[in-house]
Amino acid sequence: MNKRLFLAGAAALALAGLSGCGPVSGSSDDTAHGSQSKDGRRLIDITSAAEFALIPEGATDIYKLGEDITIPEEWTGPLNFKGELNGNGKTITFNDTVITRGDGNSGGLFSTTGAGAFIHDVIIEGNFSPDSTRGFFGAVAGSAANTRIEACSVTVDLREDHAAEVVFGGVAGWISGGTVIANCYYAGEIFTKYENDSTNLKPRAGGIVGFAIGTTTDAAIEHCYAAGTISLISRSVCAGGICGGLLNDNNSYLTIKDCIALQSNIKAENAESLGRVSGSPATPPYLTLTGNYGKSDMEKNGGPASWTSNAAGLDGESVSDATRNTAAWWEARGFLFGGSSVAAPWKWNDQTSLPVLYFE
């Protein structure tokens, strides 16, 4: 039986009689009580993966996590989500999950999002692999259009051993115009392997976003950092510590601003383009890079590398671990430390010498 259908049936009664929930902290309406927010949307508590699976296609309501949840071994994320997910500082765990592409192309916690979706204040951990050798995959969303993703902590390993044309992004597989990812971090392993030289199909990957396809409305990645490793074995198009690549045409615009790439190694064999921050060969006005940094001793393809230190370039400005190991350094790069809300979401972790989100 399809796991998504089973979960939906198991949770039907739980949501069918739900009259509402309390305030959604950090949401678009913090003062809402009862079953509706001031803008008329329902406020719905989510306490299990079964309930999450019931989010309907095109949902516009406000959903709040009331408990930590574990995603089952097979998962198809909700489609075309247009509402708000307030993670409420809770944890969503992928447990050796196989992700199915909800729209035939994209897979993640949400298969696709768009039209004003807002996802924030959530921890996502564990590991998953795609159900196919092709498609766009990310921990938060496979694809995100006109979406805001903010204050998300992602430590998910993404792996595909037979990737033909997989695009992996730690947070989102691909984003398009109007999407903003801000104040998020990714720390995990991204791995793909494809050895069939008889085709032109090649994987792409980025620590925050795999691939960007913009419109005349800019997409943006701001005040994010990524750590861990990226490994695209044998064949690849492009890879980058923050964003894998950008479709280089006159309808694609992406800004990467004040982001820090801290991977120990980016391996993209035979890649057309590989950058410490962005793997895209695109140039302004399509790609705007401002105030970005890359780990000075980051390895390329498993060995020492000579990176071009430039805060407005594909590799970002070089920064050593010793230099960036203080909260003051990050604050000077626009990371807001307050430790209490999404408005100033970062706090300092002395054990890792890295910022983490206020609810961790």
| 6-37: pLDDT as tens digits | 333 333 333 333 333 333 333 444 333 346 76
- pTM greater than 0.85: yes
Tell me how crowded residue 291 is: count the other CB atoms within 10 A of its CB: 17
Q: Where are the domains of the chain?
A: 61-357
Q: Which residues contact 40 (CB under 8 A, 6 or more apart)?
A: none
Ranges under pLDDT 70 in the chain = 1-35, 37-38, 163-164, 195-201, 214-217, 234-236, 248-251, 281-284
Both tokens of 208, joined, read: 């925050």
Residue written as tokens 């902590």?
A: 153
Cα–Cα distance between 148 and 41 in angstroms, integer? 18
Cα–Cα distance between 156 and 152 in angstroms, integer? 12
Comparing CA positions, the residue from 174, 346, 321 lying closest to residue 261 is: 321
DSSP letter string, 121-155: EEEEEEEEEESSSEEEEESSEEEEES-EEEEEEEE
- The bridge status of strand 84-86 relative to strand 118-130 is parallel
Q: Specify the pLDDT at position 36.
A: 74
Q: Specify the pLDDT at position 248.
A: 62
Cβ pair 140, 175 in contact under 8 A: no
Both tokens of 167, joined, read: 């695009």
Give kind and range of the element (H or E) at residue 106: strand 106-107
Q: Specify the pLDDT at position 8.
A: 38
Residue written as tokens 């396809």?
A: 213
Q: Specify the pLDDT at position 250.
A: 57
Q: Specify the pLDDT at position 43.
A: 96
Residue written as tokens 């805060």?
A: 311
- CATH code for residues 61-357: 2.160.20.110
Omega cis (within 30) before 285: yes
| 182-191: pLDDT as tens digits | 999 999 999 9
| 302-323: pLDDT as tens digits | 899 999 999 999 999 999 999 9
